[in-house]
Each structure stands twice: as structure tokens, then as C-alpha cells.
Structure 1
Amino acid sequence: MVKIIASGVRKGNVIEHEDGKLYVVLKAESMHPGKGTPTTTIDMRRISDGIKTVVRYKTVDTLERAFVETIMHTYLYQDGEQYVFMNPESFEQISLSSDMVGDFAPYLQEGMECQIALFNGSPISIEIPQRIVLEIVETEPAIKNQTASSSFKPALLSNGVRTMVPPHIVSGTRIVVATEDGSYVERAKD
């Protein structure tokens, strides 16, 4: 563990809070008022159970920063509530709970490379590619003379997620989707 001052905390850092538990930083903002003490507000999520909290520190307060090892893993398969990944170098397999995978679960594809953060050998978080290619399974047919660029129509993707797509997209089209929120990015180039 390394001590850092509160104003040095950045998004993605893992810190050990006063309660002895590990938290991942979601947002850190420093405020320097004209009068008074400069403060840093940190939004963070407890890794063990996902509870979010907001804490305000003086910018010179020290926090314990945990060193997290991030290793590339390949997604293999889902086994009930567990998602199994493999380290392509050591061939060790690691299982993540559905709570840890969270909203990324529908976007996992066999063979997908993901970054898994490990603390003392235990997985604490996962990061998947920001964009993936999926196929449209079902959508309304294109309507003639509908050229308004702001109009979107609902579509069902091959992973079961619903999204909004432009009117010219038809069933069977492969599109690029943002994994953060499932939104349409562009038509796939393949």
C-alpha cells in the first residue's frame, strides 16, 4: 500500500478506506475556494458488495492506495451464475460472479479479450472492449421517404438486448454497439 494525498486520487484508482475495505474511484473532484480549505470529493464503489459512497477530504489528507494488477483474460463460457475466463499466457482459469460482471454480461462473446483487475490474486473488477459487433435479429422494416436523421426505431440484437437504430438498418445487418450503454454507434465495416 502506498499513501497518496486526496487531490492525487484519479478515476479507476483502488483505495483502502478507513473501514479497511477496498473501493474503486468512480469520480474525483478537487475544489479550491477563495477562502477556506481546499477539498476533494471522491465518488467510490465498495468492491466487496458494490455499495456506492461519496466522501469529502481536505486535499492534503492522505489515503492508502492499493496496487491492483490488471491482466488480459479471454472469456470462455458461462457456468450458471459464474463467468469463466482464461489467462492466455498461463492458461489458468478464473471465475467471476454475475454481480461482478454486472451490465457487461450480455455483451460477453466467446473468445473476447477482457481486462481483469486482481488484488492479492482475487478478481475485483472487469473491463470489456468499449465497442463490439452484433447482428440485428429483429426490427421494423424501413419506411420509404423517412429521411429524418433524428428518427430511430427499436431493434433486437443477437445478444437479446434492445437498442435504437437508424431507419435504414434492417434485420440481418451487423452493427457496432457501445458496451457501456448498448447504444448504436455505426454499421459494421465487415
Structure 2
Amino acid sequence: MPKINGNEIKPGFILEHDGGLWAAVKVNHVKPGKGGAFAQVELKNLRDGRKLNERFRSEDKVERTELENKDQQFLYETDGRLVFMDAATYEQIEIDAELLGDRRPFLQDGMTATVQYFGDEALNVTLPQKVKCRIVETEPVQKGQTAANSFKPAILDNGVRIMIPPFIGPDEEIIVHTELLEYSERA
């Protein structure tokens, strides 16, 4: 694995640090008036979700790790475990459902998601960026309510509550951005 200098760390890098695998979430490069420059890095542990703030000076060496991405199909959930299948080998793996957090309701049967591996260990699941959902419950459409940036609450078919534009009514299909958990467009 390649070693990089502390000032080369960017958000999204996977680092091997303190005996664990960490994702760089935020990176702030600081040049104080006195002393050497450093990078203030917010790290998130990929195995247990802990967060850590660390300072790396430019002369510090850090192990950068590449994760292997595999597209896998979601089959079903059982006892808080998500079962995915590799389309090429038909091999099935189980991943803890808590890994997805508040994005879990957007995972649909048969959906293809990207699973990130470190060796044989599955560490993260990335859903497609946009998912089609149906509105189950919302306020009725009101004539003349076209003010810019006005939104109303709605409940989706997966139970998630989001804000939608006022012109969308119940039983309509919309596209939801899974990373931001917000309305994107009509389907």
C-alpha cells in the first residue's frame, strides 16, 4: 500500500491509521503564523463508525488504502442482516443493516448497489444516487401556491418523511436523492 504525506490527504481517502481503517470525511489545511503547516482531518472508522479528529503534519507518512468496489444485487433482509448476491459468481454475502443508517429504507428488492471490500471484508454499501418512490400521503395540491422555495411534508411508500414541492400530490412517483435524502424531480 502506498504511503502518502499528511498534507496530501483529501476527503474520501481511505487510510490505515491506529490499527484501523478510516475514511477522511473533512480535511482542513492550516498554516499557522508560527510553526509548520498541518492538515486537520476528521476521520470515520469504517468498521464501527467511531469518529476521530487528527492532525497530520506534512512530514507525517500515512498508509492510503484502496477498497475494491463490486456491484451486487440486494436479495432480502433477515434478522437485521442484508443479503447481497454477486451477479457474476452468484456468491451471497450478509451485511449488517445498520451500515446503511437512514438510507436503509431506500434499498429495494432486486436493486443493484455498490459494496466496498477490504480483502474479503465488506465495509460499506453505496446505493444508487437516485431512487424512484411513490408518495403515500401529503397535503392536497392548492391552486395558486407556486411561491419559489415553498415545500410541504410528504410520506413515501417506504415510510420516509421528506419535503416536496407544493404541485405534487398523493400517488405520484418522484425521484429521491439518496445521499441528501431529499426530493430531486418527478418520475
Q: Tell me the residue number matched to 2:155.
A: 156
- What number of residue pairs does the alignment pair up? 187
| TM-score, L = length of structure 1 | 0.92
Q: Tell me the residue number matched to 2:8.
A: 8
Counterparts of 2:143 and 2:65, CA distance in 1: 57
Query: Are the aligned partners of 1:161 and 1:182 in contact in 2 as well (CA < 8 Å)?
Result: no
Alignment of structure 1 residues 55-94 onto 2, 5 Å: 55-94=54-93
CA RMSD of aligned residues (A): 1.4
- 1:34 offset after TM fit, Å? 5.2
| TM-score, L = length of structure 2 | 0.93
Secondary structure of 2:100's match? helix
Query: Are the aligned partners of 1:149 and 1:166 in contact in 2 as well (CA < 8 Å)?
Result: no
Query: Are the aligned partners of 1:76 and 1:86 in contact in 2 as well (CA < 8 Å)?
Result: yes
Alignment of structure 1 residues 1-190 onto 2, 5 Å: 1-17=1-17, 19-33=18-32, 35-188=34-187
Show CA shifts across 1:32-75 (max 9, x none). 34552010111111122101111011022101122321111111
Identity rate, percent: 39
Counterparts of 1:126 and 1:173, CA distance in 2: 28
Counterparts of 1:14 and 1:136, CA distance in 2: 37
5+ unaligned residues in a row in structure 1: which ranges?
none
Query: Are the aligned partners of 1:68 and 1:119 in contact in 2 as well (CA < 8 Å)?
Result: yes
5+ unaligned residues in a row in structure 2: which ranges?
none
Query: Are the aligned partners of 1:30 and 1:59 in contact in 2 as well (CA < 8 Å)?
Result: no
Query: Runs in 1 of length 4+ with deviation above 3 angstroms?
Result: 32-35
